Structure 1
Amino acid sequence: MAIKITGSGCYIPTETVTNLDFARHQFLNEDGTPFPYSNEVVAEKFLEITGIQERRYASNDLLTSDIATIAAQRAIADAGIDPETLDYIIFAHNFGNVKKGAIQTDILPSLATRVKYDLKIKNPKCVAYDILFGCPGWVEGVIQAYAFIKAGMAKKCLVIGAETLSRVVDIHDRDSMIYSDGAGATIIEETKESGGILAHETATFAHDEAYYLYFGNSFNKDHDPDVRYIKMYGRKIYEFALSNVPKAMAACLEKSGLDISQVKKVLIHQANEKMDEAIIHRFFKLYKQSPPEGVMPMSIHKLGNSSVATVPTLFDLLVKGQIENQELHPGDIVIFASVGAGMNINAIIYQL
């Protein structure tokens, strides 16, 4: 018996925003002074560091819960299950439903409840709830689903990661270029197959690191000070991730009892290409090895950083054969890993 992902689905928004689309933005320093470089130079350096060429934004008529429902419907269809048999709907996000141009988030009712409503599930024993866990939210949701099933509290769970970060960014902050929108969903259930979730690891670093990502004022001092936007200390996050994520992945691998040579793919949160490459090299260096070619599939170049949606979207695209020169096979060992606001880190060792 194994607890496995039996179906996956994602929603990739239709609005494509390239780096050149930021040319008309007025980027400012934190103190409100003009940025010293032209937008062309900013875009060039941004691409060099992050690897992001373009990103996707949700159309104005869609909310986070809407795109999550679409991804969920696709995962349910892929698994071939009756949604009425779901025991849990676990929805990872960070900002709830934010309408385009609005200054308030809406999480009443919870987004998981809205997805259950949209799926027309009547069963009251299908429990729906949200989790706020930064970018590692979907991975943590899968760990929770695994725990419920292993404890005999559930048989089938729907785990969703969805976000519309484009609606909480400060257009005067160059970091706004990183963020995007998207949704990914998976069905987690017990099967008679082998493999599945073999080990997991989670940690929260909050003593010094709690506010590396936070809600803060616009860099434009003329903006309403009561309206807040997603902000981050990029250098601190980079150093934190590089130091701690490889260790968490290694601890998880040790729990599984597997050898590094058995790892076929590492599906890591798509936050920054250079950071992810550095993490992977540091991870393999712990075993005195270099990363095998193609071990880290990437979606960030065209999809940007959609927070909780990046890993499930990457997984769905990979298993559906939609990432060039990348594929998965039954029995392959995969590591899911993520880092984000909190500061939270987690990892899963998974066998297809």
Structure 2
Amino acid sequence: MSIKITGVGSYIPNRIEKNSDFQKHEFLYEDGTAFSQSNSVIIEKFKAITGIHERRYIHQELNNSDIAYLAANKAIEDAKIDPETLDYIIVAHNYGDVLHNDVQSDTVPSIATRVKHKLRIKNPKCVAYDILFGCPGWVEAMIQAKAFIKSGMAKKCLVVGSETLSRVVDKHDRDSMIYSDGAGATVVEASEDEGGILAHESATYSFEEANFIFFGKSNNLNAKEERRYIKMHGRKIYEFALSHVPEAMKVCLDKSGKSITDVKKILIHQANEKMDEAIIKRFYKLFDMTAPKGIMPMSINKLGNSSVATVPTLLDLIVKGKMEGQEINKGDVIILASVGAGMNINAIVYQF
């Protein structure tokens, strides 16, 4: 028996925020002082490092649970299954539903329960729950779905990664330009076919690294409202990722029994273009190889960093033939990998 993806879906918001839209922002350092450089210079340097030209935000009438549902419904339709036959709905996110212009995160009931409600599933044996694992949440939820199916506790699982980071960014923090909104989903089932999830690897580094990504106050020290926003120590995260992610991917590949030459694509969390390129370069260096051209599809340039949604959205775009020059064919071996708050890392080797 194998555990295979039978359906994929995503929701990409149609509201585009271009780099030029940040020209009028007042960017400040953590101590509240202003940058000496103009916004044009700040934005150009940001683009050179991250690769981001534009990102997507949801419209004010939508919430995280709404776009999670929209992606989930597409995956169910793609899998051609009756949603009543789902055994588990696992939704990875980090901040719940944050209403437009609100200051609170709403996670009761869970986002997964809300998705199940929106799907109009009556079956009480379909268990819905959330997973908080930073940006690697969707990959980790896939690993959990595999465990449920392999143990006999489930036959079909719906796995969703959905986030609306536009609702938790500090407009005075230049890092706010990284974040975006989006949702991706997969249906995972037991199968008699070969392939599927061949191996996985996960780790949490929290002794010194726990607070590399955190919730903090606005860089505008004169802000009137007591609100907190997503914050990060970018340099520390960059160094952490380069030190640990390539090794985790190698361990996972070794466990799968596949060779590095079998790998056709690596779908890595779209966090930062330069960082992702460095990770892949180091990964292949572990095999005394140079990364093949086109091995790492990138969507961050137009979609930004939507946290848990980046990997499943990327998968959906490629499988549906919506990414120029990229394709995945039957029998292809791919690696799914992510790194994020916690600090958590994980990887999956999957064969189509």
In the superposition, the TM-score normalised over structure 1's length comes to 0.99
Instruction: Give the Cα–Cα distance (whole angstroms) in 2 for the partners of residues 231 and 134 of structure 1.
Output: 13
Q: In the alignment, does 2:248 pair up with 1:248?
A: yes
Structure 2 counterpart of 1:221: 221
Distance 1:99 1:257 in 2: 46
Question: Which runs of structure 2 are paired with 1:11-30 in the superposition (5 Å)?
Answer: 11-30=11-30
Aligned length: 352
Match of 2:101 in 1: 101
Q: CA deviation at 1:225?
A: 6.4
Report the counterpart of residue 133 of structure 2 in structure 1.
133
1:158 partner SS? strand
Deviations, residues 254-301 of structure 1 (Å, cap 9, x unaligned): 111111010000000000000000000000000000000000001001
CA contact (8 A) 1:217 1:225 kept: no
Alignment of 1:141-220 (within 5 A): 141-220=141-220
Contact kept in structure 2, 1:93 and 1:132, CA below 8 Å? yes
> Which residue of structure 2 lines up, in the alignment, with residue 77 of structure 1?
77
| Other structure's SS at 2:56 match | strand
Q: Residue type of the partner of 1:293?
A: K
Determine the structure 1 residue equivalent to 2:236.
236
Which residue is 2:4 aligned to? 4
Unaligned runs of 5+ in 1: none
Which segments of 5 or more consecutive residues in structure 2 lack a partner in the other structure? none
CA contact (8 A) 1:60 1:100 kept: yes
- Residue equivalent to 2:305: 305
Query: Counterpart of 1:93 in structure 2: which amino acid?
Result: H
User: Over residues 119-163 of structure 1, what are the superposed CA-to-partner deviations in whole Å (9 max), with x where a residue is unaligned?
Assistant: 000000000000000000000000000000000000000000000
Identity %: 67
Contact 1:218 1:225 in 2 (8 A): no
Matched, 1:33 2:36: no
Give the match's secondary structure for 2:65: helix
Per-residue deviation, residues 64-88 of structure 1 (Å, max 9, x unmatched): 0000000000000000000000000
Matched residue SS, 2:90? strand
C-alpha contact (below 8 Å) 1:216/1:230 kept by paired residues: yes
RMSD over aligned CA atoms reads 0.6
1:192-227 Cα offsets, whole Å, 9 max, x none, are: 211000000000000000000000000000114631
Measure the CA separation in 1 of the matches of 2:264 and 2:78: 23
In 2: Cα distance, 1:227 partner to 1:135 partner = 22
Stretches of 4+ aligned residues off by more than 3 angstroms: none
Scaled by the length of structure 2, what TM-score is found? 0.99
State the secondary structure of the residue aligned to 1:312. Answer: helix
| Aligned partner letter, 2:140 | E
User: What pairs up with 1:273-292 in 2 under 5 angstroms?
Assistant: 273-292=273-292
Give the AA of the match of 2:302. Answer: K
